[in-house]
Structure 1
Amino acid sequence: MNGQCVCGETTFEVELRNHDVHACHCSICRRQTSGVIMTIDVEQGSLKFLKQAHLSIYNSSAWGERGFCNACGTTLFWRTKDQSYCNINAFSLNEQPNDLNFDMEIYIDSKPEFYAFQNSTKKLTEADVVALFNGVSAE
């Protein structure tokens, strides 16, 4: 599949892991997008940039980084620093699969009270997410 930023200065190809969409409610995603970001997991190592002169990487935590176009500001991906996990902005794809499934919300304990999705989704707290990426069971 192919995707790009708003201005077209950063383009990529990618293989989706599945068609499950996740929403992140963490404070960084909300500040970055003025809402939630909706993402799709990609196959490890499959994100390849075709045009990347305006690609920038932001070191957003001890274990994660965010990619964006520095010409138009479009958020493109989040990945672990070791690149063992990566997801992309679901709306950066040029064509979205017809069978996308909104299945999970993360950092649900950071979600403001003034909005809620109607869909029934799996919900993970910040502790759940941190444990997941650290290989620890969150209980």
Structure 2
Amino acid sequence: MTTTAAIGGGCQCGAVRYRAAGELGYPHLCHCRMCQKASGNYFMPLAAAKRSEFTLTRGEPAWFQSSDLVRRGFCAACGTPLFYDTPEADTINLVLGTLDDPQAVKPVAQSNTRRKMRWFHDLDSLPIEPDEETPDREDAIAASNHQHPDHDTAEWPSGASS
């Protein structure tokens, strides 16, 4: 169980946006090698939205058929992985990092842990880098940021027609 309110999300550049109403099911971290490769990370956080409650609100994802059973949706413009989809299923899995509020959905399980990094338990003991960003650098990054904001917009990029 996660949330019953509509939840939105999308890719980094804003070319593909989606909305899911109702509860997201089985939020989990998948450690399988295919999810590692698809996400470019050590695991992929996923949760299932009912297909009947899922809507693309902007653009269309590109698809890669990662196996005979599963395809993966991503933004063709910026490469953000968005969906894990078994086309005949009643649900579509959302990549949780693409939610506008990823804190809203806490994983309840892990899957395919044979491929889980053996050293994950050491992460909390790693040193934390000091904040090296200067106010000038932070301002320069903010002024040149091309990332879509974490909410729906009437048009994106600003001033362009959707």
TM-score (norm 1): 0.71
Q: Which amino acid aligns with 1:43?
A: K
Alignment of 1:8-87 (within 5 A): 8-18=14-24, 20-33=26-39, 34-53=41-60, 55-87=61-93
Q: 5+ unaligned residues in a row in structure 2: which ranges?
A: 1-6, 124-162
Rounded Cα–Cα distance in structure 1 between residues aligned with 2:34 and 2:107: 21
Shift of the 89–101 alpha-carbon distance from structure 1 to 2, 3 Å rule, reads same
Rounded Cα–Cα distance in structure 2 between residues aligned with 1:51 and 1:82: 23
Aligned partners of 1:12 and 1:47 also within 8 Å: yes
Aligned partners of 2:47 and 2:95 also within 8 Å: yes
User: Which residue of 2 is the match for residue 110 of structure 1?
Assistant: 115
Aligned partners of 1:21 and 1:38 also within 8 Å: yes
Shift of residue 37, structure 1, vs aligned partner: 1.0
SS of alignment partner, residue 31 of structure 1: helix
Shift of the 96–111 alpha-carbon distance from structure 1 to 2, 3 Å rule, reads closer
Give the CA RMSD over aligned residues. Answer: 2.3
Shift of residue 101, structure 1, vs aligned partner: 3.0
Shift of residue 8, structure 1, vs aligned partner: 0.3
Superposed CA deviations along residues 108-131 of structure 1, whole A, max 9, x for unmatched, are: 12223222499xxxxxxxxxxxxx
Q: Which has the higher strand share?
A: 1
- Larger CA deviation: 11-20 vs 85-94: 11-20
Shift of residue 97, structure 1, vs aligned partner: 6.1
User: Which residue of 1 is the match for residue 9 of structure 2?
Assistant: 3
Q: Which has the higher helix share?
A: 2
Shift of residue 20, structure 1, vs aligned partner: 4.9
Shift of residue 56, structure 1, vs aligned partner: 0.4
Counting matched residue pairs gives 116
% identical equivalent positions: 22
Where does structure 1 differ by over 4 angstroms across 4 or more consecutive aligned residues?
A: none
Aligned partners of 1:14 and 1:47 also within 8 Å: yes
Rounded Cα–Cα distance in structure 2 between residues aligned with 1:84 and 1:42: 9
Max radius of gyration: which structure? 2
